[in-house]
Structure 1
């Protein structure tokens, strides 16, 4: 068998449609002797009653390209298929009918057109079939009442036993079932997950590699789903069938641009019960944010594309949603995106055939985000879990607050000093440290003016309140027990409060080619920050990637740099590198993430 057969790169796999039965019957008749081959009516029965378990390999033709090299059409034909029905016991009688709740999935046929045998097609079909059935089996825990399958069973003749063993099956016994005149052997392959559980992880994102593992960065929950939560798995299967059918129209020459393929956003729509499920899981994990991620199957988008018709690279594109520990959904979260990317990159690293395994596209609620696995290592990565990842995020401007500054200062005074700025002269007459800091922070001659506040603004859409302080003023706020509820008083922002300052000039020489690693060795940062988000259930966030979508551009303009480095100075703290691309209105965020826990989530919708 030639594992490198070029036709494998032109295969797509999908469920069989009613109009495909004549072609499948032709392959069946040519593959088995008359006393073993299924009748056309048998194939029709299996397609009608067990369509999910009837999959085919569709070979895309090598179409002509346009003058600019773009793919013009997609045509081809079915060259093989696998069909099965479910049963509760593996007997001749049980194989005559399909039991939708059967514990076993019994394969009836693994058939390949004679022209394409010994090219790896059979193994490729079994690999796809196993993955599709695993996906279905795991997907039922998202709310469906369907019964999971325990294993796949099949019968094979002696000459094919080695083939099935190579593809993950084990021989159990000589079969008691009589099928034709030859002796048959029974084989099986058990599903790895039977019943409950979505993969979930805890990941520390934007860590400071100088600190001990588990003591820096922002912990995020990551939950891997098979599709939009709350949608029945069959609905997702039908969407994929629809897309695949359009791609496999053998009697038409449709342009890819003309094909009405569902956009990624159509797989990014969540029913109410799905939102409730994600909120419940986020509350259970109790992290500042939990990301929910599912693959966008079969999409023609940035995650992968057919450039010349000769290859079909994997589509590493995912939908992503974010929920806080209080069950509130937020549109964007940098550290949870970094955490999700690190989990997916670790999984994709085992797929040596994937040309795009180091690049991922995320479709968030309102943004398209890109992540790339970078080669640099983490100096103190004792567990081997750390990875350096670059992400592309939307640019966020900071706009000055024209009116209401007094209210902002009053809110800051209440939150940090327990007093109104307007009553500074009379407040805290004792010599406590907080009182002393209060008198230093606010101008004693004019209590409504804080001479350590250099700028008050809001980010685009009035999402975050943005305060730049002097470095001395920033340090005055350290070590104070903050009244977080007081930070909710001003209505001019919807998400969080960013407090920041620029740092003293850096040393004369810095390794700008590896700025993040240089800073991790305590060289220099351009700015320092803190982020408070009580309006979305986060008192103080350890490290906030999305806040750097505005911090990066702000300090880049202030310092006349296109590459700036920030340290978020919460109790845990972390490092974020920002590369500014004003022409593209994008901010590149680079950070290090390390996985700390993994397990399975048993909460059902």
Structure 2
């Protein structure tokens, strides 16, 4: 039986923006090596594999071109979009079983809203290697899960950052989020995310990073609903809200193509 696959741009209202994800709907479990090989072949930020479970939920796994990861926002958003628009899923709410626990997606007028765990950054001492790797001097440094979390002095500094990716790979944590308050009134904060050790020099739009950006900027601005702009070359918009120890991420998706993998794969 052939495997359906849909290529989707997530966290964008226009095609060829946001972050691309390939969503595969499996009819039966596949070996890890097969999933990793397909993700490497497609060579985009994430390839996601869905498998329907008996209770109506879906097993969901995320793979970069180099490794499986524990949490991914844009590919989860893309998965919900694919299920509702291409895989004949009914209902307004979806439940995904993942390495980060149960995640939900809800369809609404703004697009799709995900419910994710909050990962608030905590202070983390850094040395000159971080400034050298970024070519920018941090205003504040923290750790958010396995990510290094850096506030820079301005939104323009975030846009202008030209990191040394080899040097980033040598830093003590996996991946670097850089952020600053927005200088555009429609957004509260701006960010970028670099994770070269997983085969992605710069991730176009990173839902999981917003699980840390949301509580950080909510505390600074004293509000619980914010809009983030990720200033990659493709760019994207993520609306976030804090609900107890959870973060909701809301965005839109655009389908680029839908098809099937060759039957012999």
Change in CA separation of 1:319 and 1:560 when aligned onto 2, cut-off 3 Å = same
Q: Who is 1:340 aligned against?
A: 79
2:38 aligns with one of 264, 269, 281: 281
1:412–1:487 contact (8 Å) kept in structure 2: no
- Structure 2 distance, partners of 1:289, 1:488, is 19
**Which residue of structure 1 aligns with residue 229 of structure 2?**
567
Deviation at 1:598, TM superposition (A): 1.2
Does 2:3 align with 1:324? no
2:75 pairs with 1:291: no
Q: Is 1:468 the counterpart of 2:151 in the alignment?
A: yes
Q: Report if aligned partners of 1:400, 1:457 keep a CA contact under 8 Å in 2.
A: yes
Higher relative contact order (CA 8 A, sep 6+): 2
Pick from 81, 98, 109 the counterpart of residue 364 of structure 1. Answer: 98
Deviations 1:415-458 (A, max 9, x none): 344xxxxxxxxxxxxxxxxxxxxxxx5xxxxxxxx3xx221000
2:29 matches 1:228: yes
CA contact (8 A) 1:416 1:477 kept: no
In the TM superposition, what is the alpha-carbon distance from 1:505 to its structure 2 partner? Answer: 8.5
Partner of 1:595 in structure 2?
255
Q: Tell me if the contact between 2:15 and 2:255 (Cα under 8 Å) persists in the aligned partners.
A: no
Equivalence for 1:306 = none
Rg (Cα) greater in structure? 1
Q: 1:454: which partner in 2?
A: 139
Match of 1:87 in 2: none
For residues 580 and 477 of structure 1, what CA distance do their matches in structure 2 show? 24
Q: Which is helix-richer, 1 or 2?
A: 1
Q: Deviations over 1:63-122 (max 9, x none)?
A: xxxxxxxxxxxxxxxxxxxxxxxxxxxxxxxxxxxxxxxxxxxxxxxxxxxxxxxxxxxx
Alignment of 1:409-558 (within 5 A): 409-413=128-132, 415-417=133-135, 441=136, 450=137, 453-460=138-145, 463-471=146-154, 474-476=155-157, 478-479=159-160, 481-491=162-172, 493-494=173-174, 496-504=175-183, 506=185, 524-558=186-220
Instruction: Show the counterpart of 1:117.
Output: none
Unaligned runs of 5+ in 1: 1-137, 139-196, 230-273, 300-314, 377-387, 418-440, 442-449, 507-523
Q: What is the rounded CA distance, in whole Å, between the counterparts of 1:574 and 1:283 in structure 2?
A: 24
Query: Any conservation in 2 of the 1:527–1:555 contact (CA below 8 Å)?
Result: yes
Give the alignment's TM-score, normalised by structure 2: 0.93
Q: State the distance in 1 between where 2:71 and 2:94 align.
A: 16
Answer yes or no: is the 8 Å Cα contact 1:227–1:294 preserved in 2. yes
Higher strand share: 2
- Displacement of 1:325: 1.6
| CA contact 2:214–2:242 (8 Å) conserved in 1 | yes
Distance 2:184 2:26 in 1: 46
Asked if 1:199 is matched to 2:1, the reply is no
